[in-house]
Amino acid sequence: MSQVASLISSPSALFLLVDIQYCTLPTGHHQKDNETSNYSLIVVTDGKGKLKIEEEHFHMDRESCFLIGPEQSLFIQSVEPSLCFYQLTFNKLSIQATASLLTKKKEEKSDSFPFLGAVTCSPFSKCLDLVEAIYCHRHDADDMERFYNHVRFEELLRFVFQQNTSQSHLDIRRAVERSVEHVRKYYYEPMTVDQLAADANVARYKYTRIFKEMTGHIPLDFVNKLRIDRAKQLLSRTDDRIHEIAEQVGFNNEFYFNRRFKQMVGVAPGQYRDNQRSDLRIVSLFLEDYLLALGVTPIVQWSHGGWGKLDYLGLQHIPTHDVLTEDIHQLSHYNPDFIMVRQGVQGLAGIYNQCRQIARTSVIHHPVDDWRSTLRTVADMLGRTNMAEQVIMQYENKVAKAKEVLSRSVKGQTFAFLRVSANYISIDYLYTGPVLYRDLGMKPHPLVNQLRGVSERRCLSWEDLSELDADHLFYTFDKWHDEGEDAEKKQLYHPTWQSIPAVQKNRVYEVDFMTWMSHGVIANSRKIDDVMRVLAY
């Protein structure tokens, strides 16, 4: 059965209302109706829930309507906050062509309702008026009033019939497609979801769901995205004032435009315009990888007293800022125009407030296992979104080629990455897993997945290491400790290390610490180079 409608042939018929109930299900509660000989029409007035008709599942929310046939089981569960709905049960009376009187005919598959499942009832206000009137007069004793109530019910079904026999599922999707194109062309005009759904002649709940399937956004978020994208173009290409651009793209309130722009882009419109300058002086500690990938050179680079700097970026001519020993206020010596601060940095609030005293500052949302998102965020702030997509595409192409080779050369073999310090040896997943196991499709040793559930970087005992029988091991030396120079290298002389199968078979590969303990696209590309250098045979 189609989720939208199952069109089936039907003879001439009338319908008799059996009962109407107003139901309220608290959050988490459910209602189960076993198979009956009656039809049911459910009209949701508030809340959210889940509906199961036989084996078909539906989402229930305000303004959604459903028709259930006889001999169909029904299960309703409230999600939030409380699910409120009317449930009308009724019978069908078929008119016999060979008789002059109305007789109730036993339902058969070929003689059922014209459509079943989720149904369109738009405008919902008209549907609700009829249902509430029927409910209000359900106990009237006067014969004429009872007759009028059946007339209201027939009018309700006629209203439902008109909308659901004229539109197939394909028709509805085409209507929403046309609406999406309209929004793309006329995003700057005032519009509401109710208006868009009505123009498409599709129920609001159904319109919103299909719209999101097509665009990835609910309607008003999509409209705002189009407006903000156009505003970014105008900020980059024109000298128009902020309020003029706001009006041109469809915002009639400059304050709301500024708030929405900063919410979506990360910086205010004026700052975004300033960021388009080719001579912009940027500080972005530990995000230098992203800047260089976008063709921007920072004026100072991150450094760490124990680990060093990001040598793989080749920024030997750029001064360093040691995050362990130097105060954040010393960044003012470089006269930055703009400072980017990673969201996950320790003491974020204090660092942000100090940086704001030096230059315009933005906090970069930096999910450590999603460098693509970070790159797009930085690119958006700098007006280099096209370059970001090119960089991502180049990386994906490199991954695809490497993955094809590895699928032949190390098929079925297992891997692990070890971080070796003077005080511990740990299995790393946080910095290495997304490239090795997700992008390249290499198979992690069971111990990797086992320990990942506990911590992204878990210190191993020598007993743990004795069980590490991965086919291949990558490792790097962590030099931040107090045990003396090269003390970390002594770990490799331990008898347990020497007994590891991969070590005995000479399948262990040392790699650069800062390259592999970084997340940027340049670092990840270098990781692929390292892997291919030892495994592409």
Q: What local confidence, expressed as pLDDT, does residue 209 receive?
A: 85
Phi then psi for residue 414, to 5 deg, are -105, 155
Q: Which long-range contacts (CB under 8 A, 24 or more apart) does 339-348 make?
A: 339/282, 339/283, 339/284, 340/282, 340/283, 340/284, 340/287, 340/364, 340/378, 340/381, 341/285, 342/285, 342/286, 342/287, 342/366, 344/368, 345/286
What is the rounded average pLDDT for all residues in the chain? Answer: 88
Q: What local confidence, expressed as pLDDT, does residue 12 receive?
A: 61
**Range 203-227 average pLDDT:** 91
**Range 102-117 average pLDDT:** 53
Q: What local confidence, expressed as pLDDT, does residue 251 receive?
A: 95
Q: What local confidence, expressed as pLDDT, does residue 74 receive?
A: 87
Is 80 exceeded by the pLDDT of residue 100? no
Cα radius of gyration rounded to whole Å, the chain: 32
Percentage of residues in the chain with pLDDT exceeding 90?
59
Q: How confident is the model at residue 168 (pLDDT cuts 50, 70, 90)?
A: low
Task: Return the residue matching tokens 């800047």.
Answer: 291
The reply to whether the predicted model has a pTM over 0.85 is no
CATH architecture classification, 13-164:
Sandwich (2.60)
Q: What local confidence, expressed as pLDDT, does residue 166 receive?
A: 55
Q: What local confidence, expressed as pLDDT, does residue 275 receive?
A: 82
Is 60 exceeded by the pLDDT of residue 373? yes
**pLDDT tens readout for residues 442-478:** 999 999 988 876 555 678 999 999 999 999 999 999 9
Q: What local confidence, expressed as pLDDT, does residue 515 receive?
A: 97
Q: What local confidence, expressed as pLDDT, does residue 53 receive?
A: 86
Residue spans of the domains in the chain: they are 13-164, 167-274, 282-383, 394-535
Tell me, yes or no, if the two domains 167-274 and 282-383 fold the same way: no
For 282-383, which CATH class? alpha beta
Is 70 exceeded by the pLDDT of residue 5? no
For 394-535, which CATH class? alpha beta
Amino acid (1-letter code) at residue 519 = H
Is 60 exceeded by the pLDDT of residue 13? yes
For 167-274, which CATH class? mainly alpha
The Cα–Cα gap between 375 and 352 comes to 20
The mean-pLDDT minimum among 2-6, 166-170, 422-426 falls in: 2-6
